[in-house]
Amino acid sequence: MSLNLPRHALAVVATAVLVSLTTGCGGGSTKAVCEDALKAFQDYSTQAAAGAGNLEAFNTATAGLAAKLKDLSGKADGDLKATLTDLSTTWGGIKIDVSNPTAATELTKLTTQATDATQRLAKNCS
C-alpha cells in the first residue's frame, strides 16, 4: 500500500499553517503561544521531511508535534486553547501503520481534520 499521498497531504497541512501563522501572531501571551506553535510546526516540517520513507521517524515527529501542541494549549486561553487542544488530539491520532488496510482512509480523514484545526489556529493567531 502506498501512503505517499496522505503523508504528502500532512506535509501540505503543516506548510499551510506555517504560512498562515506568519501573517500575524496577535499580542501579549497569545503572541508567545502562537510563535511557539509556529516553531513547533517548523520543527515538525523539518523532521517529517527528514523521515520521508521512514515511517517510524515520521510517526515520532508527528507524536512530538502533538505533545508540543498539548503543552502549548496549557499556556493558552479561550479559543486558542481549544484550537491547540483539537490540534494536539488530531495530530496525536496520526500514526501510519502500513499493515493496517484502512490506514490511507484514516489518514485522509485526519488530514481534513488537521486542515480545519490549523485554519482555526491561524485565525486565533492573527
Per-residue model confidence as pLDDT tens digits over 68-122: 999 999 999 888 899 899 889 888 887 777 677 676 676 677 677 777 777 788 8
* Separation between Cα atoms, residue 37 and residue 120, nearest integer Å: 13
* Separation between Cα atoms, residue 41 and residue 24, nearest integer Å: 15
Percent of the chain beyond pLDDT 70? 70
pLDDT in tens, 25-82: 555 568 889 889 888 888 888 887 776 677 788 788 889 999 999 999 999 988 889 9
**Residue 2: which pLDDT band, with cuts at 50, 70 and 90?**
very low
User: Which set of grid coordinates corresponds to residue 50?
Assistant: 527528514
Q: Tell me the domain boundaries of the chain.
A: 4-124
pLDDT at 87: 87
User: Which set of grid coordinates corresponds to residue 11?
Assistant: 506535509
* Separation between Cα atoms, residue 69 and residue 73, nearest integer Å: 6
C-alpha separations of 85 from 7, 79, 100 in Å = 22, 10, 27
Of 113, 124, 116, 11, nearest to 62 by C-alpha is: 11
Put simply, whether the predicted model's pTM sits higher than 0.95 gets the answer no
